[in-house]
Amino acid sequence: MKFGSWIFPISQQIKNDGKVIADSLQEIDTWEKLGFDAVWLSEHHFDGATAYADPIVFASAIAQRTQTVSIGFAVVEMALHHPVRLAVQIALLDHLSNGRIILGTGKGSAFNEYEYIGFGVPMSQGADSINEAEELILQSWSGNPVNFSGKYWNLSFPELRPQPLQKPHPPIVRACLSIDSTIEMAKLNRPILIAGQKNSLIKERIDIYTSTLYSSGINDKTADNILDQIWVNKNIVVAESSEEALEIAYIGYQTEQNHFKKARDSYNPSAASSSISKPASISKEDFENLFIVGNPKQVIDQIAELESIGVRNLMLKINTGEMKQSTVFNTMELLAKHIKPIF
């Protein structure tokens, strides 16, 4: 099993943004030194929900200070990016990182209309344009002249430079929130990102994806390679005692959810807010479904359960709700010492 750290640091006060960003870079340095496999970056704007906001710029700093970890995006909010510009940026990052980039794509936030308003993009465009954007990116990475005519983009250029270092191109993985999108990606032989949820639903998603993938007619080796690129997200806190871990995790989760709700209530236009689905109120069930939490033995058991249902790669949010950096480091160190060697 591969382990990735989902770098999703909230900053509750604007005066702390710089410190939270600097702390995140230190956490990434330590994660690599401990021998883990990947870091994953998110994207949110205007609310401090992702302190560094721009994952492309942040990835360039990571590429220059690390040597071994893969650098993935979970996810780039595709509606906020011109696909040709994004293709150029990812190609350059691929060279700066010596071929360690994974492009994770998504439609964008389903809750934060203010992000779309800030970029002058209709919220509906996130859902409508993603397939066309990915098609344009792949054509840009083909090494050939591009003449593209679509619903959202009509353009032509002789050849994108630089071309990505990885051949034929960096992996593209789609964040899939629905069964339909999961099936669509499996039919295209494209790996996916699976959000944290109840383990039985994760199993259902992996099983549906796997059966659809094999029904497309590809051979076992190719299918296994694609399945090995699927990442599942969970939040995690490991501590010396289960009581300590539970307390830290729940306070962090409560802090994060309150921050999200405050931003949506403050920034979403009132006329639109009622039409945007919002997360359910904080509940014990939500918490248990999203978190791996406990002492090292308990965490080993929880990860073993995930492995038994087909999870091959875990994208772990280690800092939930602006935790103390010492707490984040403690979870990482316990993971490296007691848990990673088992898997």
pLDDT band at 272; cut points 50, 70, 90: low
Distance (Å, rounded) from C-alpha 206 to C-alpha 212?
Answer: 10
Per-residue pLDDT tens for 88-121? Answer: 999 999 999 999 999 999 988 889 999 999 999 9
pLDDT band at 279; cut points 50, 70, 90: low
pLDDT band at 278; cut points 50, 70, 90: low
Per-residue pLDDT tens for 167-222? Answer: 999 999 999 989 999 999 999 999 999 999 999 999 999 999 999 999 999 999 99
Pick from 321, 172, 314: nearest CA to 249: 321
pLDDT at 281 over 80: no
State the CB neighbour count (10 A cutoff) for residue 229: 17
pLDDT at 52 over 90: yes
pLDDT at 58 over 80: yes
Tabulate helix, strand, coil % of the chain (nearest 5).
50, 15, 35
Pick from 152, 160, 216, 164: nearest CA to 190: 216
pTM over 0.75: yes
Angle at which helix 124-140 crosses helix 83-96, to 10 degrees, equals 50
The pLDDT of residue 273 is 55
The pLDDT of residue 276 is 55
ω before 162 within 30° of 0 (cis)? yes
Pick from 76, 280, 106, 78: nearest CA to 197: 280
Distance (Å, rounded) from C-alpha 297 to C-alpha 299?
Answer: 5
Structural domains of the chain sorted by starting position, each given as residue range(s) with its CATH number in brackets: 2-342 (3.20.20.30)
Identify the residue with better confidence: 283 or 271: 283
pLDDT at 142 over 70: yes
pLDDT at 40 over 60: yes
Per-residue pLDDT tens for 223-261? Answer: 999 999 999 999 999 999 999 999 999 999 999 999 999
Residue 305, classed as helix, strand or coil, is helix
- For 123, half-sphere exposure in the C-beta direction (CA atoms, 13 angstrom radius) is 15
